[in-house]
Amino acid sequence: MTKNISIYFTILIIMFNFSCGQEPNDKNEIIVTEELNYEMELVFENKGIIWGLEFLNDNSILATVKSGSIIHYKDGVKKELKGVPEIYLRGQGGLLDIAIHPNFEKNKFIYLSYASEGIEGKGGNTTISRAILNGDTLEELEVLYKGTPDSRKGQHFGGRMEFDNENYLFFSIGDRGNRNVNPQDITIDGGKIYRIKDDGTIPKDNPFYNDGNAKKTIYSYGHRNPQGMFKHPESGKIWTNEHGPRGGDEINIIEKGKNYGWPKITYGINYSGTTITKNKSLPNMEQPLYYWIPSIAPSSFEYISSEIYPDWKGSLLAGALVFKYVERIVLEDDIVVSRSKIAENLGRPRDIKQGPDGYIYVSIENKGVYKIMPNK
């Protein structure tokens, strides 16, 4: 027991029903509590939507603004990067996530996900690019992948990125509002998790590499709109969360070649209240590790490994766009056993990252970036 073991007290707020993926038909009550004894410290202000956060080794922050700019914040000074690609700004699409190469100190590679326009008038789709960061300028920008076909729909661009232990880049593209076609069809983009090498080439052990009709970059399919992703520090596996419709947001551990079911199976319903499907499970389709009812609209995902928050270490954090708080999720043997609220009513949390300094940083839409400071 550390001296800080009692830092965080909890009080009962509300109760939600849940099921976990291992026993999807069992209903259990889980108590959602409120975390106390911490402060949200404003690091820097921004009136836009900071969609993605990344840290350089000096703990300076790179922050993507959905409207099309990248902020570099260091030692109290904000600068905008030059050389940002042209952005297709429509609905949920814009400048999305940012990631640095695991060997960034040597190669200076920065990765961006964003919506880009294709043939004029046809709309846009999610794009993954790589560039070299030279000072405050992006140089030698190259597109590594662009989803097709372009669409004028403004929904479900996905856009999260994460490197695994082998330096393969995983990224998501949502179903682009075409749920009846894209997620279950491996010959087209949308509703998928993808895996490429750091230069954009395709690993030959991708699950559909030898399928002549398939998109060879696909790693898993049957997804709706994954906007949270992290690499588990112990297993090395990629974990995601994704937006469901009305109910049925999911946590998934991504496995090679697996079908996660959308929209053939779901715990959600249409926004109108009508049924999407009566099927909660089907053969050869994966169950979520956990699903939310009602939806929280999970916007990001992070694993806490920091010693700064001893009572939180090993927990997961997800932004809850609907309810305007950060949710802390505690698991035992990959079963969710508790949930609690952080930063309630501060605003819509868009991204959450643990920095090199061990502190947790949260971007709040139209306000800026905050640091979670535990009270001593």
In the predicted structure, residue 2 carries a pLDDT above the cut 70? no
Residue 229: pLDDT band with limits 50, 70, 90: very high
Q: Provide the phi-psi class of 83: left if phi over 0, else alpha when psi is between -120 and 50, else beta.
A: left
**What domains does the chain contain, in order, with CATH numbers?**
47-308 (2.120.10.30)
Q: Report, as an integer, the average pLDDT of 84-88.
A: 98
pLDDT of residue 26: 40
Q: Report, as an integer, the average pLDDT of 54-61.
A: 96
Q: Per-residue pLDDT tens for 317-344?
A: 999 999 999 999 999 999 999 999 999 9
Q: Which of 44, 54, 163 is nearest to 98 (CA)?
A: 54
In the predicted structure, residue 50 carries a pLDDT above the cut 50? yes
Q: Per-residue pLDDT tens for 300-317?
A: 999 999 999 989 999 999
Residue 56: pLDDT band with limits 50, 70, 90: very high
Strand 28-35 vs strand 335-342: parallel, antiparallel, or unpaired? parallel
In the numeric block, which tokens belong to residue 99? 């990631």
Q: Report, as an integer, the average pLDDT of 291-305.
A: 97
The proportion of the chain whose per-residue pLDDT surpasses 90, expressed as a percent, equals 89
Q: Report, as an integer, the average pLDDT of 349-365.
A: 98
Which residues, 6 or more positions from 17, have their beta carbon under 8 angstroms from its beta carbon? 27, 28, 29, 30, 293
Which residues, 6 or more positions from 278, have their beta carbon under 8 angstroms from its beta carbon? none
Strand 360-364 vs strand 349-354: parallel, antiparallel, or unpaired? antiparallel
In the numeric block, which tokens belong to residue 45? 């202000």
From the list 72, 101, 156, 223, the catalytic residue is: 156
Q: Per-residue pLDDT tens for 168-181?
A: 999 999 999 999 99
Mean pLDDT of the chain: 92
In the predicted structure, residue 361 carries a pLDDT above the cut 60? yes
CB 318 within 8 A of CB 331: no
Distance, CA of 242 to CA of 345 (rounded, Å): 22
Q: What is the DSSP string of 295-334?
A: ---B---EE---TTSTTTTT-EEEEETTTTEEEEEEEETT
Q: Report, as an integer, the average pLDDT of 76-84.
A: 97
Distance, CA of 138 to CA of 142 (rounded, Å): 11
The question of whether 156 is a catalytic residue gets the answer yes
> What residue has token string 């709040």?
364
Residue 29: pLDDT band with limits 50, 70, 90: low
DSSP class of residue 105? H
Residue 359: pLDDT band with limits 50, 70, 90: very high
Strand partners, 111: 99, 130
In the predicted structure, residue 18 carries a pLDDT above the cut 70? no
Measured CA distances, 373 to 8, 21, 40, 125, 245 (Å) = 12, 33, 6, 38, 34
At position 11, the amino acid (one-letter code) is I
